[in-house]
Amino acid sequence: MTLISKNYKARIQISFEAPTGKSTLIAKSIYSALDPEIRHSSDSGATTRISISIPDLLIEVESEDIPKLRALVNSYLRLVNVAYKCIV
């Protein structure tokens, strides 16, 4: 029997709508809050990248299995939601 390793990917694009100039500030603030968390996570079998494309925040998650991917996506969406609520 041969095991085939698959990687599962999720790409999340979050747009912020706010008065002129504030959407850029919100995106940059949330990026700054999440970047250390993503950079220093040591989850084997998963990679996460975050980038900013004003006024959008892009989060890309890649994992070896679907449950881990789902858990990471949910965690990062919760972190974005908490950061957004703290800012606004």
| Domain range list for the chain | 8-87
**Mean pLDDT of all residues in 17-42:** 87
* CB atoms closer than 10 angstroms to residue 6: 9
The sheet carrying 56-63 orders its strands as 8-15, 56-63, 46-53
pLDDT digits (tens, 9 = 90+) for 12-24: 999 988 777 788 8
Give pLDDT, residue 23. Answer: 86
pLDDT class of 44 with cuts at 50, 70, 90: confident
Give pLDDT, residue 41. Answer: 78
pLDDT digits (tens, 9 = 90+) for 50-76: 999 888 999 999 999 999 999 999 999
**Superfamily of domain 8-87 in the CATH hierarchy:** Alpha-D-phosphohexomutase, C-terminal domain (3.30.310.50)
Rounded distance between C-alpha atoms, residue 46 and residue 53, angstroms: 23
Give the residue, 68 or 5, on which the prediction is more confident.
68
Beta-bridge mates of residue 53? 56
